[in-house]
Each structure stands twice: as structure tokens, then as C-alpha cells.
């Protein structure tokens, strides 16, 4: 069963003049099924569950194509390989350096910073490409000897 976002991604391929192949559809469906932040290899496992004949190089090429067509994008979350998202699911990531928890935050969170940086430096940030690292609320509370802990109380 194709969901609406699968149909939208397929329509984007069609509009770009690309062919709708079994491989491309399989990768879109794997992206759609995963709520998690899967690496290309984890996505390949998801694809192979239903289409074991599609090879890894094809899956990588398909992801690159999707990125050029704005159907999917990759994000760097902490160390290790990048993770993949369908492009209709734009959000940003905070990753805890202590427990590796990933917290998703809306695009609008960066608006004040985006405007400030553009005004001050002309630099246009792309905050979804990399995550911000730090400590989640629980880990920050558990390590009161943090470098900035003293400054906050002094206002």
C-alpha cells in the first residue's frame, strides 16, 4: 500500500523526467516505512526484506538521485555514517553526547539564528545537514560540573 508521501516522491521523479523503476520505488517505500534515522546500509536491509535482488550500489545511487531531486536528504547525527529522511519530514536534530539520544526540533527553532547570521555575515545556514551536539536534559542534570553550569546562575 503506497502512502501519500510515497506517491508524492514518485510524482517528483516523474516530473524530473526520471523513470519509476522497481529499485526507486523500493527505496522510497523503505524510507517511508522507517520512522528512525537509518543509515544507507540499514535502509538497504529494509529494501532487501522485500527486494533481495537490488544491489547496494544501486541503493546508494538511488539515494544520491533522490537528494538531487529533493525527495530525500541525509543528515549527520553524531559520529558514524549519515542518516536518511524523506524530504517532506524536515526537522533538525539535537544529539546527546552522553546517551546518544536524538531529539527532533522544528525548522522554525533556527529562524532567529538564521536571520541573525544572514544579517551579520551574509552566511545562509543549512541547519538540517548537521545535528547539534550537547547533553540532553537528563544528562545535563546528572553532570552538574558542566563548564557552563556556574555562569547560568550568575545571570
Q: How would you classify the pairing of strands 83-86 and 102-105?
A: unpaired
Sole binder of Zn ion in the list 22, 49, 98, 115 (CB under 5 A): 98
Q: Which is nearer to Zn ion, 101 or 114 (CB)?
A: 101
Instruction: Enumerate residues 6+ apart whose C-beta is below 8 A from 102.
Output: 37, 77, 93, 94, 95, 96, 131
Binding string, residues 103-142; x marks residues near Zn ion by CB under 5 A: ---------------------------------x--x---
Nearer to Zn ion, 22 or 99 (CB): 99
Please identify, using beta-carbon distances, which residue of 2 and 99 lies nearer to Zn ion.
Answer: 99
Q: Are 17 and 46 in contact (CB under 8 A)?
A: no
Q: Are strands 92-96 and 132-134 parallel, antiparallel or unpaired?
A: parallel
- Report how far residue 95's alpha carbon sits from residue 104's, in angstroms, rounded to the nearest whole number: 9
Considering only residues 44, 46, 96, 131, which one is a binding residue for Zn ion as defined by CB under 5 A? 96
Closest CB 73 distance from Zn ion, rounded Å: 9
* Contact set with Zn ion (CB under 5 A): 96, 98-99, 101, 136, 139
Amino acid at each position: 500500500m503506497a502512502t501519500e508521501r510515497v506517491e508524492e516522491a514518485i510524482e517528483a521523479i516523474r516530473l524530473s523526467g526520471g523513470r519509476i523503476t522497481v529499485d526507486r520505488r523500493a527505496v522510497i517505500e523503505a524510507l517511508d516505512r522507517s520512522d528512525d534515522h537509518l543509515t544507507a546500509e540499514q535502509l538497504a536491509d529494509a529494501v532487501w526484506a522485500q527486494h533481495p535482488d537490488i544491489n547496494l550500489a544501486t541503493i546508494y545511487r538511488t539515494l544520491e538521485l533522490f537528494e538531487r531531486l529533493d525527495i530525500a536528504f541525509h543528515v549527520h547525527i553524531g559520529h558514524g555514517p549519515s542518516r536518511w529522511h524523506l524530504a517532506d519530514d524536515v526537522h533538525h536534530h539535537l544529539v546527546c553526547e552522553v546517551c546518544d539520544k536524538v531529539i527532533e526540533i522544528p525548522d522554525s527553532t533556527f529562524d532567529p539564528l538564521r536571520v541573525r547570521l544572514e544579517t551579520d555575515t551574509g552566511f545562509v545556514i543549512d541547519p538540517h545537514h548537521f545535528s547539534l551536539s550537547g547533553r540532553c536534559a537528563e544528562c545535563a542534570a546528572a553532570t552538574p560540573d558542566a563548564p557552563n553550569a556556574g555562569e547560568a546562575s550568575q545571570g
